[in-house]
Amino acid sequence: MMADDATTNFVKTYAGDIYIPLREIDKELYFPLNTTNQFFKLSYTISGNTIKMRDYSGTDKIAKINQKEVQAVSSLIDGRGDTVILNQNDTVFITGQTDNYYRLSGDDGSTLYVLKDYVTVSEIDLSKIDFYAPKKVKFNRNGGKINLVWQYVGNITPSAPAVKHNGIDILSPTWFDLIVNGDGSVENNGDKGYTDDAHSKGYMVWATITNNMSTKGSTAFTTKTFNNSGLLNRSVAQYIFYSCLYDVDGINIDYEDVADSDAAGLVAFTALLRNYTERQGLVLSIDTLIPRPWTIEYDRASLAKYVDYLAVMTYDEHYAGSPNAGSISSLPWTEEAIKATLKDVPASKLLIGVPLYTRIWTVDDTGKVISNPSATMQAVRNIVSEKGLKPTWLDREKQYYVEYANGENTSKIWIEDSRSISNRLNLISKYNLAGSACWQLSQAEDSIWEVFDGMLKKNKPMSNYNNSY
């Protein structure tokens, strides 16, 4: 059961079979209880090595704890009983109430009391349905600047950051991919534990959905999907269902290598998805390449009507296949892309793309590129330190630059660091943009989030970050 009848009927009609990934541990397969518990009509708690489960009998009211670290007591008589800490989103069973407290029944049969303000009572009898995804309270930035950080996911989701970085608002794991040459179904790599962990630390989670652009045949199958209502509806229904199953707060569309002729199809897909994200209270965003004659597959003006945010991927100015060495994202190139995008997209919806990586360009004596592997911020810092290099500031690109002998060749690096990123973030205030979107988490130094916090949240000047090297 979804937030309303229209969404419920759409998902039931078109989603088809859904799949939940298992995890192999010591040659045994395990299913995720935190994802499947609703299907089994039960709740559970974990204490040490013990899992306690309780079925939804329908006789007790089912509720959720709605705040972090809520204190419950085993007795309302002063000085008696013990205090128990309940976590946000814990399922509890209400067996009675006083004027100010609910009486709860624990999974072990114990009785607890908790203030009513800390409990949200379910309006649905979960013992009678297989799945329930109520409408969320949709995020509104209320004029503040936001920073989204993508997190690349293969088959297994990496951990969310161990602590809350004030410079990160949204984590966007690449979880759901259209299966190329399939029946419209979506490959599911979601992890409910990741969402729960991220939420507990204060992050929002927007699941990134893709058309599997790195897979052979993706462009042709995307065209087929856009022109086949059965394939299109199934993909959208599964994106919505999986997003609700993993309790995310939004969906980020990353459809790339789309045929030029499919610009209208991408808009129609986004509009259909928008209808149901709105009903579920989910934020919807989309990623686009920079405006160029060869990126007409993105009808930015039309797309902007159906999304809350549009992230322009202002990186890969020089990319893996570039014939010449150069910056990943020089400031003039980035600013030009922002100004061009603003012709079609309101500033209040625009997120500037920020690379957290660079490339190590090795060229021969003619300038021919021999190799250009990507490198993390920390890897570059290590190279600079180990080789005793002195970076040079490039005032046009607004980046530090180093080069060094590499056998008979020369290696060159246009560095991404706090100073280059502060110049990029300065464009957010200059053009009053909504915020930024960073690729990707594992490539960053933890210290870089202080720059985002300082400039996006505390209005610190970029001059505070002028001396990274």
Identified catalytic residue from 24, 123, 256, 317: 256
* Three-state SS sequence of the chain: CCCCHHHHHHHHHHCCCCCCCCEEECCEEECCHHHHCCCCCEEEEEECCEEEEEECCCCCEEEEECCCCEEEECCCCCCCCCEEEECCCCEEEEEEECCCEEEEECCCCCEEEEEHHHEEECCCCHHHCCCCCCCCCCCCCCCCCEEEEEECCCCCCCCCCCCCCCCCCEEEEEEEEECCCCCCCEEECCCHHHHHHHHHHCCEEEEEEECCCCCCCHHHHHHHHHCCHHHHHHHHHHHHHHHHHCCCCEEEEECCCCCHHHHHHHHHHHHHHHHHHHHHCCEEEEEECCCCHHHCCCCHHHHHCCCCEEEECCCCCCCCCCCCCCCCCCHHHHHHHHHHHCCCCCHHHEEEEEECEEEEEEECCCCCEEECCEEEHHHHHHHHHHCCCCCEEECCCCEEEEEEEECCEEEEEEECCHHHHHHHHHHHHHHCCCEEEEECHHHCCHHHHHHHHHHHHCCCCHHHHCCCC
Determine whether 256 is an active site residue.
yes
Active site (catalytic) residues:
256
